[in-house]
Chains A and B, each alone.
Chain A
């Protein structure tokens, strides 16, 4: 029996990183799922909510629910957007029939693969040194991994998936889960600190021997790639869905 999954693609990924969306579709289809992209979707509303403009975010939360309420599962290649639905829609949709269900069936791609589909192997090879950037919202809002501050058991879902890929070598970073400094409008309103944070992450990856930097959130990578491109650094940047879909290294 094939499962029908509603695919949510973050607004900027739809417009600027089409291959990340295509890779997500392919990864899910390879698992035998029927993937549906409801074309009425736009944005989860996070940029507005994180700027404090809740009145501007609410209509987008309502729209998201309207578009996705009838799917068995909702999957997005973004920990940040899923965290928005799961932890911050309460304010806009709390008490609305179907909202609790929407929260419990909306998943980030990696956690969907490890927790719902419970995949244990991948028939893939990626012979590169990969540096995994732990995007904060996936890490600390969705608990896709154990944050370094916590003294509890260690899980790491994106890492778990990358370890299933043959010939892929994960590098050890000196600060394994420090923020890249994107932070939505923070990237612009606190430009100086944001870029210093990004540069510091890149330096850590360089010193650790990263050849391909990956993450479960394209927003962090957009910021980091922006810095890498400007400085003409040799590090490649790929969304984790692209690695899991078997893409070659792209620049």
Chain B
């Protein structure tokens, strides 16, 4: 049921919008989260100062990235963790597999990690005979549906409770037709408890890695990261190399921003700190690059590395809310995903920077003040430079520019359009070639342009005086 990769955003979005009732339900669900965020943010008097501080801490981290990476590796190693470096998803997945094979692991439990989604770790491990169970409830739901998450914080936000009921009836044996969230959650807890107990290893993501201490921090609402790493002896933590923060004291800035921005909670239910392996266990931290160091070199896109994956830009994005996460065909959807996607594969994701009305809401909601909509605009320029724009867009802009560079040509063309348009029969104006006119009327054409009207008025004023 995974979405097809050949289609671009406008087609995927049109399909989502076609189910008007569902698209509105999706929009309202996410707007509710955005509204909760507004209330939570408003309750912190120094909210804007916190955002600014977070933005500067991350900018500092990115500026001295290599130093902080080295410091983190040194400190984490001192604590007894093993740090691995992966250039790309293939290397990342190979490291995970080797660790699992060395420990003869057959079953693993995984807490939420968008990075392992980015690496397509689940199918890779399954192909190698290892059972992977996502233990975040939302992620378990999409895993059972054989779908990718549609949101980085709320992976199953696109699925209605009735659909979860049907899914659980099929896989977990819940009563047919049952859609009570408490009942379904309880069933999932029992199901997952068995998986936790049977697992030989736990994989987690990482929200923050502290260079100063070598510790890692994982934020969850379900406590599944703790449970997954407490029962099995092997803990593998997978993170992008941008997840660093310099000092332990910086953490408070981010934990205050993260949950409020993500879901409107004051703090996530669990903020789990891992400083080295637990007694008798092993902690392996895999640090993935996968294009991040290329982004770091770019003046235009460097700030996207500040992202703490709160998902607020998705919740606020009027396009995301109405087109759904899967329409982006990228591990990370929404505004931030539309910057990161083209950085990985500009051709495949060439439509994403255009899946945006440039409203700027994302930049204002972002807890680390990433200039998201300006970066999306920058990407449009890069995509045009690389000749990845659709032919129609390229030609229409070229023609428009030629006309608009010459005032006489502009006024001539304008005049012709104003005369001809009203004479045209409706079917010539409104047809399948006119995307504007499918649902919208064109403005009524005035006889005179503004410049003609102004000249007429000024001439008559001159005559009168």
> Which residues of A come within 8 Å of B, CB atoms?
9, 11, 13-22, 25, 37, 39-43, 45, 47-54, 56-57, 59-60, 63, 88, 136-137, 139-141, 147-152, 175, 177-179, 181-198, 200, 222-223, 225-227, 229-230
Contact = CB atoms under 8 A, between A and B. Distances in A.
A13 B10 CA distance: 28
B291 interface: no
A230 B380 contact: no
A22 B450 contact: yes
B450 A186 contact: no
B359 A136 contact: yes
Nearest to B351: A189
A57 B377 CA distance: 13
B14 interface: yes
Nearest to A91: B381
Contact of A51 (B10, B380, B436, B442): B380
A197 B318 contact: yes
A230 B357 contact: no
Interface of B: 9-10, 13-14, 17-18, 20, 23-24, 27, 31, 38, 41-42, 44, 47-48, 316, 318-319, 322-323, 353-361, 363-365, 377, 379-385, 389-390, 393-394, 397-398, 400-401, 404-407, 410, 414, 417-418, 435-436, 438-443, 445-446, 448-454, 457
B323 A53 contact: no
Contact of A42 (B358, B381, B404): B404
B414 A14 contact: yes
Contacts of B406: 42
Contacts of B448: 18
Nearest to A222: B443
A27 to B, nearest CB: 14
Given A59-B401, A63-B405, A200-B27, A152 B48 contact: yes
Given A16-B445, A21-B454, A39 B407 contact: yes
A200 B322 CA distance: 11
Interface of B is mostly: helix
A183 B359 contact: yes
A136 B439 contact: no
**Interface SS, A side:** helix
A17 B364 contact: no
Given A50-B380, A52-B381, A136 B401 contact: no
B443 A225 contact: yes
A149 B41 CA distance: 9
A52 B404 contact: no
Contact of A52 (B364, B384, B451): B384
Contacts of A137: 358, 360
Nearest to B434: A188
B357 A183 contact: yes
Contact of A179 (B23, B357, B418, B450): B357
B401 A57 contact: yes
Given A25-B454, A226-B440, A226-B441, A181 B383 contact: no
B360 A141 contact: yes
B450 A54 contact: no
A22 B449 CA distance: 10
A209 to B, nearest CB: 21
15 contacts: A18-B448, A22-B453, A42-B406, A43-B410, A51-B393, A53-B393, A136-B360, A147-B364, A149-B365, A181-B357, A188-B435, A191-B439, A197-B357, A226-B442, A227-B440
8 closest Cβ pairs, A-B complex: A226-B440, A183-B357, A52-B380, A21-B450, A52-B384, A56-B401, A179-B359, A140-B360
A184 B358 contact: yes
B443 A226 contact: yes
A186 B359 CA distance: 11
